[in-house]
């Protein structure tokens, strides 16, 4: 099983700041990596697939990068609606494991 | 617009059974693979099972193999999760999620709102 490790667990940020979230895979997943956003009481929402391709309707302030085992989600200028938990997930074989999540909270 | 609506959750005793349903609309259901993903209270996401658009191929996490079984009825646009021999650690919100292709090998582009399953005596 591929283990996905996200860091940090929690990030305290002010609106307008640039945010960088990390996700590491225990073995290569090529570019088979997605990012999801989850707000309290809501279902996850797809942000990024293929490590760097924004999903339909996702604002340009969200960007993804990386390949093989190291990945990054960047929010260029944090808005109030971006405070949430972010999960990475690989889809390079089975099982499709998720990271434990990074909570982005208001500083 | 893609809509996924889960139902069937509730309180069940350890060792009991439950069947979850996910009613799909807004897309050609038989053309897409589907998944179940769960989230224990206050915890992260765990992929549970996936099924191809035709239903011919299914995949499950080791933690649920032999107990939780995914299936689908394309004539009813509905995904199912049959849950047997339930344990306390199966307590979670269960989400259905849509794959982007026929075979369930990809990312999930739409999610339902989830249904809560509580396993407790």
* Contact present, B4 and B34 (Cβ < 8 Å): no
User: Cβ B47–A34 below 8 Å, yes or no?
Assistant: no
A43 touches chain B (CB under 8 A): yes
* Contact present, B33 and B102 (Cβ < 8 Å): yes
Find the residue in B nearest to A88 (Cα). B45
For residue B21, the Cα-to-chain-centroid distance in whole angstroms is: 8
| Helix-, strand-, coil-residue percentages of chain A, each rounded to 5 | 5, 50, 50
| Long-range contact pairs involving A78-85 (C-beta distance under 8 Å, separation at least 24) | A78/A13, A78/A14, A78/A15, A78/A16, A78/A17, A78/A18, A78/A19, A78/A104, A79/A15, A80/A15, A82/A19, A82/A37, A83/A39, A84/A37, A84/A38, A84/A39, A85/A37, A85/A38, A85/A39
Q: Which two tokens stand for residue B37?
A: 């993903």
Give the per-residue pLDDT at B93: 98
User: Cβ A46–B108 below 8 Å, yes or no?
Assistant: yes
For the residues A63-87, what does the mean pLDDT come to?
97
Q: Which of B46, B50, B111 sits opposite A44 (nearest CB)?
A: B111
For the residues A86-106, what does the mean pLDDT come to?
96
SS3 A74: strand
Statement: residue A7 has pLDDT above 90: yes
Condensed to tens digits (0 to 9), the pLDDT of residues B72-110 reads 999 999 999 999 999 999 999 999 999 999 999 999 999
Task: Report chain B residues whose CB lies below 8 A from the CB of A55.
Answer: 109
User: Cβ A91–B105 below 8 Å, yes or no?
Assistant: yes
Task: With cut-offs at 50, 70 and 90, classify the pLDDT of residue B42.
Answer: confident
Statement: residue B30 has pLDDT above 90: yes
Condensed to tens digits (0 to 9), the pLDDT of residues A23-69 reads 999 999 999 999 999 999 999 999 999 999 999 999 999 999 999 99
Task: Report chain A residues whose CB lies below 8 A from the CB of B106.
Answer: 49, 91
A97 touches chain B (CB under 8 A): yes
Task: Report chain A residues whose CB lies below 8 A from the CB of B44.
Answer: 87, 98-101
């Amino acid at each position: 099983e591929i283990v996905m490790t996200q860091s940090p667990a929690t990030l305290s940020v002010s609106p307008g700041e640039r945010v960088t979230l990390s996700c590491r895979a225990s073995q290569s997943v090529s570019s088979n990596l997605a990012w999801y956003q989850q707000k309290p009481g809501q279902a996850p929402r797809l942000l990024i697939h293929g490590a760097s391709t924004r999903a339909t309707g996702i604002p340009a302030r969200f960007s993804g990068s990386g390949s093989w085992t190291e990945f990054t989600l960047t929010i260029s200028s944090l808005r109030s609606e971006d405070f949430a938990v972010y999960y990475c997930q690989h889809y390079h074989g089975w099982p499709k494991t998720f990271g434990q999540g990074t909570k982005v909270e208001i500083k | 617009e893609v809509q996924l609506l889960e139902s069937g959750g509730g309180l069940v005793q350890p060792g009991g059974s439950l069947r979850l349903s996910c009613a799909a609309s807004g897309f050609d259901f038989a053309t897409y693979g589907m998944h179940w993903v769960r989230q224990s209270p206050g915890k992260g996401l765990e992929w549970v099972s996936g099924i191809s658009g035709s239903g011919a191929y299914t995949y499950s996490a080791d933690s649920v193999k032999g107990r939780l079984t995914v299936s689908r009825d394309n004539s009813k646009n509905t995904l199912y999760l049959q849950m047997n021999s339930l344990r306390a650690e199966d307590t979670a919100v269960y989400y259905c999620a849509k794959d982007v292709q026929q075979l369930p090998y990809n990312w999930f582009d739409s999610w339902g709102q989830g249904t809560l399953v509580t396993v407790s005596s």
